[in-house]
Amino acid sequence: MSKNIVFNILYKQLKANHKLWLLVFILGIFNSCKNNMEEQIDVPPKVQVQTTHLSKGYLPDYIELTGKTIYLNKSSLAAPISGYVTNVTVRQGDEVLKDQLLFEMQTPEAFLMQKKDKESNVYGSVKIYAPEKGRLISLNVVNKGVYVDKGVIMSTLLATNDLKLQINLPFEYNRWFKMGKKCDVELPDNTYITAVLSKVLPQIDETSQTIKVLADINTKQFIPENMIVKVLLDKSDKHKGQILPKQCLQTDALMSQFWVMRLLNDSIAVRTFVEVGNQSHQQVEIISPIFELNDYFISEGAYGLGDTVLVEILKN
């Protein structure tokens, strides 16, 4: 029964009995209080959030491997004659150029004659040059006047242009190895350089069942030998997908379901379940559903929200 009909009936009865005026007054007050209470209950608070939008891009899927730096070309410089060292022009650790003078030697006879006749230059010497550009990692003769026998190793030279990365690749990942493929190398100081896969050695480690892969390192900085590094080999198909910042992604305790809070407009957000693909520390690929590029998602403030909530978007 509507309010108008009720009041019409009461009005007709008032003519017969003026005591009903009190009843009308009480009903009016009750109705007014009830409307005020409903207005207060029906206005839920808004959650303050920050938003972002998705982008189209490629998110790699890395295999994490272990590698070691090696120098394939090492030159051991031996004394060409038995005699005395008359000049040493380098120190251990020096970087030298090809054909740079390293040592000078004289035969015992020439050395003794030169010692007696210091002003004479007729006594010849044997000069030893660097066979190629590199770095001296060992120097067994550091002072002149030292006698050495023929064939004694005087120094060892690393050819710095022949630096390789030896990667231990599990055989089941062999299908992702391709000649010329690039990989990222993380050094112990958390910096990155690039390497290019170049060769597979024809042997496998019996214990770990890994094959040894060589890669060329592209860097101008000096890299020491036998340094253990982390190698990141991308095994994805490099397709473009939907990329969101990882803070947009929500999940349950078992990580069996994933969802994002998508904005319907500037004040309402709804829970949308998603299927995720490749992930990194900062980003996640959304496989389904397919969103619009102008869709916005809650990036901060989404934790613990229900299926549908009122939101207030904060300015960044």
pLDDT digits (tens, 9 = 90+) for 175-198: 888 888 889 999 999 899 999 999
Same domain? For 185 and 250 the reply is no
Rg from Cα positions in the chain: 41
Pairing of strands 55-57, 241-245: antiparallel
Total-model pTM: 0.58
- Looking up residue 269, the CATH number of its domain turns out to be 2.40.420.20
88 vs 200, which has greater pLDDT? 88
Residue 58 confidence (pLDDT): 82
- pLDDT band for 277, please (50, 70, 90 cuts): confident
Question: What is the spatial distance between Cα 253 and Cα 225, in angstroms, rounded to a whole number?
Answer: 45
Handedness of CA 185, 187, 192, 194 (dihedral sign): negative
- Say whether both 101 and 114 belong to one domain: yes
DSSP 199-251: EEEEEE-TTT-EEEEEEEEE-SS---TT-EEEEEEE-S----EEEEEGGG-EE
CA distances from 307 to 262, 263, 280, 304 (A): 10, 12, 27, 10
127 and 269 in a single domain? The answer is: no
**Averaged pLDDT score across all residues of the chain:** 84
Percent of the chain as helix, strand, coil, to the nearest 5: 20, 45, 35
Contact 291, 246 (CB under 8 A): no
Q: Is the same domain home to 66 and 172?
A: yes
pLDDT on residue 162: 84
Verify that 88 and 219 share a domain, yes or no. no
Determine the longest span between alpha carbons in the chain, in angstroms: 153
Same domain, 288 and 220: no
Asked whether the predicted pLDDT for residue 20 surpasses 80, the reply is: no
pLDDT of res. 74: 87
Q: Which domain holds residue 259?
A: 47-59+239-313
Q: Which of 216, 234, 252 lies at the terminal end of a domain, its last residue?
A: 234
φ and ψ at residue 20, rounded to 5 degrees? -75, -10
| Cβ–Cβ < 8 Å for 234, 62 | yes
Residues 200-230 pLDDT 10s? 888 888 888 888 999 998 788 888 889 999 9
Is the pLDDT reported for residue 163 higher than 90?
A: no
CATH number reported for the structural domain that contains residue 221 in this entry = 2.40.30.170
Measured distance CA(90)–CA(96) in Å, rounded: 8
Residue 226 sits in the same domain as residue 265: no
Q: Which of 244, 305, 313 is nearest to 271 (CA)?
A: 305
Which of 56-70, 97-111, 112-126, 195-209 shows the lowest mean pLDDT across its residues?
112-126
For residues 80 and 301, the answer to whether their CB atoms sit within 8 Å is no
Whether residue 141 is found in the same domain as residue 86: yes
Q: What is the pLDDT of residue 216?
A: 92
Tokens 């030279």 sit at which residue? Answer: 157
Segment 37-56 shows an average pLDDT of 76
Is the pLDDT confidence value at 258 over 70? yes
**Do residue 119 and residue 106 come from a single domain?**
yes
Question: What one-character DSSP code corresponds to residue 27?
Answer: H
Task: Look at residue 109 in the predicted model and tell me its pLDDT.
Answer: 87
Average pLDDT over residues 125-134: 92
Same domain, 66 and 199: yes
pLDDT value, residue 31: 60
* Residue 55 shares a structural domain with residue 66: no
Dist. CA 156–CA 96, nearest whole Å: 12
Instruction: Please indicate, yes or no, whether residues 145 and 204 belong to a single structural domain of this protein.
Output: no
- Domain count across the chain: 4
